[in-house]
A = this chain, B = another copy of it.
Amino acid sequence: MGSIEFWYEFASTYSYPAAMRVERLAETAGVAVAWRPFLLGPIFADQGWNDSPFNLYPAKGRYMWRDLERVCAKEQIALALPPARFPQAGLKAARLALAGEAEGWTPEFSRAVYAANFAERKDISDDATLAEILERLKIDPARAFAAANTPENKERLKARTEEARARGIFGAPSFIAGGELFWGNDRLKDAIGHAALKAAPGDAR
């Protein structure tokens, strides 16, 4: 069975439609998805950016919001603009998503955080928003936050972000399939197709 790694940052606008579609598209192609939450902030800082490039470059930002509307409309994904703020601070959500790997709730939790940000205009850095999502998913918030805030989990998120940098990731969403990096929601289907191809029996590539 082929597999792809889905690298995402909760503040990232185009990671939203990717997160909402990746499991369905991968399942259709018989490809497994490994969810890889990470932080884009430190990687943007390497590039000299202390804010989202969509804020630093206003023409690009204006375009992105309109394009995101079109992308979400085409895929029938709910979108409510503007979000509570942009970019949102995704650190707490990323720590929780990482802690959820041990219990398997990372994908469902991550989709709910994206919906809170981009469809419900909630502040995803607010503990109440995150606790409400966890409760809805029948996860005990106190236990989840405790797991998220252990020194080990915090270090794991730093190592994860370091791994992203080392593997050439410079934006989100990114996909890694069959040793190839694919960047952007626009490359989701190509990445899944590549993963399926590499896993095809009898394929020598």
Q: How many protomers of this protein does the assembly include? A: 2
| A interface residue count range (under 10 / 10 to 19 / 20 to 34 / 35 or more) | 20 to 34
- Using A60-B170, A60-B171 as known contacts, list a sample of 8 further A-B pairs with CB atoms less than 8 Å apart, ordered by residue number in A: A47-B57, A59-B170, A62-B168, A66-B180, A66-B181, A67-B183, A70-B190, A186-B186
Residue in contact with A168 in the complex, picked from B47, B59, B70, B171, CB distance below 8 Å: B59
Beta-carbon contact of A63 and B181 below 8 Å: yes
Complex: how many Å from CA A80 to CA B186?
A: 24
Which B residues are in CB contact (< 8 Å) with A165?
Answer: 59
* Chain B: CB-nearest residue to A171: B60
* Chain B: CB-nearest residue to A183: B63
* Chain B: CB-nearest residue to A180: B66
Complex: how many Å from CA A168 to CA B67?
A: 13
Complex: how many Å from CA A35 to CA B165?
A: 39
Complex: how many Å from CA A76 to CA B169?
A: 27
Complex: how many Å from CA A187 to CA B184?
A: 13
* Chain B: CB-nearest residue to A168: B59
Question: B-facing mask of A163-200, CB < 8 A → 1, else 0?
Answer: 00100111100000000111100110010000000000
Beta-carbon contact of B63 and A168 below 8 Å: yes
